[in-house]
Amino acid sequence: MDKWDKRFMEMCEFVSTWTSCFRAGRNIGAIIVKDKRILTTGYNGAPAGIVSCRDKGECLRDKLGIPSGTRQETCYAVHAEQNALIQAAKLGVSVEGATLYCTHQPCTICTRLIINAGIKRVVYKFPYPDEFATKLFEEAGTLVEKYEDLEKE
């Protein structure tokens, strides 16, 4: 990890504060970077025009007792990685060969989108219990790195 990884992970953590997710510990941010330039950002939250869980005052997943790492489709939030990719598509920005920084390791759904978008490197800070996503990244040849802040050691 170098100083640029540190800068981009700090930016990713800042973007995560914009979440509209109600669930504790689910502030997730993502940024897509190429040639040391931020292309797009994303955070987890409700789709445009949909009342967010934060505004509703409850998490649908908590209400239904859905454990983390399962049934991702039962949630109002769009994942941070998905929002960063959607923003790139809306703006006509190619992310081919880019790096995606994310506060949390991507799930299987996000992993498939990241692979097909042509992102070549993923850097995350916190692990996520999804072994299949790891297998997909390995098979696709996408470099995945757990962020380690070397200055804290």
Catalytically active residues are: 81
Question: Count of CB atoms within 10 A of residue 96's CB?
Answer: 9
Burial 28-39 (b: 16+ CB within 10 A, else e): bbbbbbbeeebb
Contact 99, 120 (CB under 8 A): yes
Residue 9: partners with Cβ closer than 8 Å, 6 or more residues away: 101, 123, 125, 147, 149
- Alpha-carbon gap, residue 86 to 92, rounded angstroms: 10
> What is the radius of gyration, based on Cα positions, of the chain?
15
E strand or H helix at 98: none
